[in-house]
């Protein structure tokens, strides 16, 4: 499920605020932004802290572990490259660091996926530039 990567039009377009994240993903690290002023983390990455507007932020590796806040099993799409993979799972993952991300759940079936499921990050190499973080079930 979800092997082979998204179609070209859906591949991330890397920009200055996100380049370090995708560099981390190439090294199989899931980086989040940490604010040195208020101590909170955020994702998606911004140059500043959206909680307190400090610009004193840095990249920190996350554990890559989290739980499903919610999920859906997609049965229909009009994007041909995604259609080939139906059905596939899209989830909101709450990482242990307190940020929420959208991703796929792989190595998992619609029968066992559930809200609260413990998951861990896995990385799918798509190109020299893009390695895509996805999640798979883990033992809690």
Partner 1 sequence: MATRVCIVGVGESEFGDMPDRSALQLHQQAARAALQEAGLRPGDVDALFSCGADGMHPLLVAEYLGLRPTYVDGTQVGGASWEFFVEHAVGALEAGLCEVALLVYGNTARSDVRRRLHGPEGAHSARGPAQFEAPFGLTLAGRYALVARRHMHEYGTTARQLAAVAVAANRWAQLNPRAFHHGHPLTVEAALASRMIADPLREADCCLRTDGGGAVVLTTAERARDLRCRPVHVLGTGEAVSHLHLAQWHDMPDLVARRSGQRAFGRAGIAPNDVDVLAVYDAFTILVLLTLEALGFCEPGASGPFVESGALGPGGALPTNTDGGGLASNHPGMRGLFLLIEAARQLRGECGPRQVPDARIAVCNGTGGYLSACGTVVLGA
**Site residues (vs partner 1, CB under 8 A):** 2, 5-6, 9-15, 18, 43-44, 69-79, 82, 85, 87-88, 90-92, 100-104, 110, 115-116, 132, 134
Minimum distance, C-beta of residue 138 to partner 1, in the bound complex (Å) = 19
User: Measured from the CB atom, is 1 or 37 closer to partner 1?
Assistant: 1
Nearest CA among 120, 122, 118 for reference residue 140: 118
Minimum distance, C-beta of residue 85 to partner 1, in the bound complex (Å) = 7
Minimum distance, C-beta of residue 102 to partner 1, in the bound complex (Å) = 5
The token pair that represents 12 in the structure block: 């991330």
Encode burial over 103-132: b for 16+ CB neighbours within 10 A, e otherwise: bbbbebeeeebeeebebebbbbeeeeebbb
User: Measured from the CB atom, is 37 or 130 closer to partner 1?
Assistant: 130
Asked if 42 and 98 count as a contact pair (C-beta separation under 8 A), the reply is no
User: Measured from the CB atom, is 78 or 128 closer to partner 1?
Assistant: 78
User: Measured from the CB atom, is 43 or 59 closer to partner 1?
Assistant: 43
Rounded distance between C-alpha atoms, residue 140 and residue 133, angstroms = 20
The token pair that represents 123 in the structure block: 């990385």
């Amino acid at each position: 499920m979800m092997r082979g990567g998204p179609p070209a039009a859906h591949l991330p377009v890397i920009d200055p605020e996100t380049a370090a994240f995708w560099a981390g993903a190439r090294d199989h690290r899931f980086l989040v932004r940490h604010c040195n002023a208020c101590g909170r983390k955020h994702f998606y990455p911004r140059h500043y802290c959206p909680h307190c507007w400090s610009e004193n932020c840095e990249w920190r590796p996350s554990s890559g572990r989290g739980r499903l806040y919610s999920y859906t099993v997609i049965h229909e799409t009009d994007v041909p490259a995604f259609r080939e993979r139906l059905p596939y799972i899209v989830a909101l993952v709450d990482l242990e660091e307190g940020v929420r991300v959208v991703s796929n759940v792989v190595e998992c079936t619609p029968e066992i996926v559930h809200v609260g499921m413990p998951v861990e990050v896995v990385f799918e190499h798509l190109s020299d530039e893009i390695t895509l973080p996805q999640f798979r079930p883990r033992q809690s």
